[in-house]
Amino acid sequence: VSFLQRCVQLLLFPIHLLACLGLWDSFYKKVFPYIMAKVAPIYNRKVYKQKQELFSNLRKFAGPSGQLTLLEIGTGTGTNFQFYPPGCRLTCTDPNPNFRKFLLKSLSENQHLKLERLVVASGEELHQIPDGTVDVVVCTLVLCSVTSIKKVLTEVLRVLRLGGAFYFLEHVAADHSSWSYFWQKVCDPVWKYFGDGCSLSRETQKELEKTNFSELNLRRIHITPYWTPTSPHIIGYAVK
């Protein structure tokens, strides 16, 4: 694995050099939203049925007023908006401000939603959201790229009201005895350059199991094509 990692790093040496000089990150944060605007719809079509099933019971967690208050972490281009119920009061967060115009475009195409706040913040630092004020937190394809999954989940528990739910869909590490995991480890050091910090081998399920949720509903799935290092996923929701 170490030998192949070095070979891949050598092939991408110019990018690695730019990253070491601190030039790659600022450049790619401007380019990444344009890439995701093209890639996200393709991914959404692959997981349409899974997302539709996952979000089908969102209304179950609406507050006493019957209105659902939803916070999405790492909203990106807003590809989840179509799955949210009408009248949903939405707060969107993302650490990359360059996603804003793509997010607003998605909102204009999903007028059944009401945007309350658009916050530039990472999942680890949601201090602008008061304690216990959210019915549902949604996080899809985000925990792979955060600095600390534990800190994000701590923030999720803080902002959720008692009985609220955390919905997730994340690509994760494959079985350690598989070839998929082998190639995940080979590609991991350079994958972050193209995935805005994304790691292929995160053990996200373990972090969810260690977090103090009262209930955890989780299953593992694979997204086509199965040979890609991002194929293994976990999907589900956890209740505070």
pLDDT digits over 57-73, tens only?
999 999 888 899 999 99
What pTM was estimated for this model as a whole? 0.94
- Give the pLDDT confidence of 30-64 residue by residue, as tens digits: 999 999 999 999 999 999 999 999 999 999 999 88
Q: How far, CA to CA in Å, does 190 sit from each of 17, 56, 166?
A: 12, 36, 30
Other residues' Cβ atoms within 10 Å of the Cβ of residue 91: 22
Q: How far, CA to CA in Å, does 126 sit from each of 29, 40, 211?
A: 20, 24, 18
**Interatomic CA distance for residues 11 and 16, integer angstroms:** 10
**Interatomic CA distance for residues 98 and 138, integer angstroms:** 20
If you search the block for the tokens 């007028």, which residue do you land on? 111
Q: What does the pLDDT average to over 170-189?
A: 94
Give the per-residue pLDDT at 137: 98
**Interatomic CA distance for residues 135 and 71, integer angstroms:** 8
Would you say residue 13 has pLDDT above 90?
no
CATH code given to domain 1-239: 3.40.50.150
Give the per-residue pLDDT at 149: 97
Give the per-residue pLDDT at 176: 95
Give the per-residue pLDDT at 66: 86
Q: Which residues contact 23 (CB under 8 A, 6 or more apart)?
A: none
CB-based burial of residue 78 (10 Å sphere; 0-12 exposed, 13-18 middle, 19+ buried)? buried
Average pLDDT of every residue of the chain: 94
What ranges do the domains of the chain cover?
A: 1-239
Binning pLDDT at 50, 70 and 90, where does residue 16 land? confident
